[in-house]
Structures are given as structure tokens and as C-alpha cells.
């Protein structure tokens, strides 16, 4: 009696922790596997999670592409601005040189004018 009770309890435990799977083979040699509804629900849940992860990966890839485009656009803007700064710097140096030359001409013309006025005054005084 004890042995029957132990065997029955063991069988009950096995049925609780095991699952049923039936394999069928049709006339063409294809194998069909039947599973329980609980197993099908778990598989369906995993497939939904996989689809969600795939969709999330597409979204992340789109975001990454957008960020790369933004960085590339910013790099192009920075290069364009550096070119503009270099051009303005060269223009600034050229204008500074022109202004410096004009200042030197003005100073030289002032000296010449001063000497000319002095010579004219001496010429008037000597006559």
C-alpha cells in the first residue's frame, strides 16, 4: 500500500512539473508538434517581445542616423564658419596694412607740407 501511494504521489508530481507534447507525422513525412495552450501563450509572448525589440531597434537606428546627420551638419557649419573667419581675418590684415600705409602717407605729407610752408615763409621774408 505504501508503495502504491508513493508511486501515485510521484506520478502526480511528474504531471505537475511536466508538459505534454505530441508529435504527429503525416503522409508526406512532415512532422507536426502539438503543444499546450500555456506553452503557446509563452511562445506568443516571446514573439511579441521580439517584435517589440525589433521595432525598438528600428527606432534606435533612426535616432542614431538623425544624430549622425545633425553632427555632420554641425561639422559642415563649423568648417564653413572657420573658412569665413579665415577670410575675414585675411581681409582685416589687408585693411590694417592699407590703413597703416595711409597713415604713413599722411604723416609724410604733413612733414612735406610743414617744410613747404616754412620754405614759403622764408621766401617771403627774404624778398
Q: Where are the domains of the chain?
A: 36-126
- What are the b/e assignments for 61-74, b being 16+ CB within 10 Å? eeeeeeeeeeeeee
- Maximal C-alpha separation, the chain: 161
What is the Cα–Cα distance from 28 to 95, expressed in whole angstroms?
92
Q: Mean pLDDT in runs of 10 for the chain (127 residues)?
A: 78 60 64 76 89 90 95 95 93 93 90 90 87
The confidence score (pLDDT) of residue 63 equals: 94
The confidence score (pLDDT) of residue 26 equals: 67
What is the Cα–Cα distance from 57 to 54, expressed in whole angstroms?
5
The confidence score (pLDDT) of residue 39 equals: 82
The confidence score (pLDDT) of residue 20 equals: 54
Amino acid at each position: 500500500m505504501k508503495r502504491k501511494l508513493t508511486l501515485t504521489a510521484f506520478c502526480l508530481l511528474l504531471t505537475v512539473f511536466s508538459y505534454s507534447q505530441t508529435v504527429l507525422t503525416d503522409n508526406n513525412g512532415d512532422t507536426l508538434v502539438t503543444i499546450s495552450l500555456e506553452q503557446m501563450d509563452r511562445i506568443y509572448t516571446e514573439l511579441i517581445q521580439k517584435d517589440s525589440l525589433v521595432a525598438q531597434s528600428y527606432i534606435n537606428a533612426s535616432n542614431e542616423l538623425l544624430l549622425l546627420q545633425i553632427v555632420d551638419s554641425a561639422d559642415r557649419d563649423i568648417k564653413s564658419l572657420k573658412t569665413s573667419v579665415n577670410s575675414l581675418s585675411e581681409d582685416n590684415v589687408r585693411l590694417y596694412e592699407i590703413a597703416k600705409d595711409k597713415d604713413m602717407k599722411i604723416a609724410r605729407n604733413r612733414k612735406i607740407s610743414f617744410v613747404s610752408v616754412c620754405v614759403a615763409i622764408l621766401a617771403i621774408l627774404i624778398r
